Structure 1
């Protein structure tokens, strides 16, 4: 049974057969930073991808093309995921599991990741636009804006996995429905259990964990 993470995930099965053979060339990806940083471990990345979006009727996030994109994005620092972020995530997973994540038996990895994922809490509500009068009364121009909420390492890495999958050809056209130009306007569409979302979120801006 697939692990239970946040509502947006937990819907695929095992990785694409033979996909692991395409990944050894990525083993050196990642930057080495300070003592708290770690270079990217592509084997662990692939395990995380498979746990977040496993394969069912469509390929999951462990698809080699998705993992390659994530590794390249990581190396470029996309979404603020750096070697320091990866090192922090490895420490969080080790703390949750009592040993390095890569040495955990496969039967325990889902539970350990679910424990780290649960610490993220439920997704927050969308920001509310306040009226100008209310804003002026509650937040005078001289008051500094509140500091942004710090995002955990897993929050950043999971968001990158979701972005990599749902902007890939597999995620956008097989898991979601891709329609470049809608053929007609339907004011009311019946939604059934078989209904799939459309891949209109072209660059996954709202896929933050």
Structure 2
């Protein structure tokens, strides 16, 4: 994925999965794997610690089962590219600030840094955050950052070719800002 731009597929596909409020329940079915910074490479926006935490969060949300997990689809690497090429400054700051907020939440909730928790404890922490952040009335701050990150992770993962066996590339070309005359010419030529 490195070096590729944001595709029409990402821009045009819907965020229905995120809006459906997918739950983390039942996702914990792998052996404990502690965070490892040695495997964190290839990122242009995320530093090693941020990438490691986001990789872990994505893997906890969408683990590998009999289908590819978020780690298999390069979800966080693609998220890094979105932060570099697509995201607004506010979105970039929100996503980049999430790991520190997550660590603060872990320290407040269980008295330890997120990275020092066992995989099962990290999963339980995310599960409780998921329930709280999607509760009625939670519309700002840490809950909003978590919801945005979760929407992006699920959207990127489930629109990837690896996670979607029925993958069909979006046909055609993107024309962007066309005038009314150019639009009408496309309609008349039946190319639109």
State the TM bucket, normalised to the shorter chain.
Answer: 0.5 to 0.7
Mark the runs of 5 or more structure 2 residues left unpaired by the alignment: 1-20, 171-192
Count of paired positions: 138
Matched, 1:100 2:117: no
Partner of 1:51: 60
The verdict on how the C-alpha distance between 1:58 and 1:21 changes in structure 2, with shifts beyond 3 A counting, is farther
Corresponding residue to 1:62 among 63, 71, 92: 71
The verdict on how the C-alpha distance between 1:96 and 1:171 changes in structure 2, with shifts beyond 3 A counting, is farther
TM-score by length of 1: 0.52
The verdict on how the C-alpha distance between 1:121 and 1:68 changes in structure 2, with shifts beyond 3 A counting, is closer
Mark the runs of 5 or more structure 1 residues left unpaired by the alignment: 1-5, 32-38, 125-148, 182-209
Q: Which has the higher helix share?
A: 2
Runs of 4+ residues deviating >6 angstroms: none
Partner of 1:119: 132
Mapped partners of 1:96, 1:8: distance in 2: 20
Partner of 2:173: none
Partner of 2:81: 72
Mapped partners of 1:179, 1:76: distance in 2: 24
Give the conservation status (yes or no) of the 8 Å contact 1:53–1:61. yes
TM-superposed CA distance for 1:55, in Å, is 1.0
Structure with larger RCO (C-alpha < 8 A, sep 6+): 2
Matched, 1:7 2:16: no
Partner of 1:178: 167
Partner of 1:91: 104
Give the conservation status (yes or no) of the 8 Å contact 2:23–2:130. no
TM-score by length of 2: 0.56
TM-superposed CA distance for 1:58, in Å, is 1.0
The verdict on how the C-alpha distance between 1:162 and 1:168 changes in structure 2, with shifts beyond 3 A counting, is same
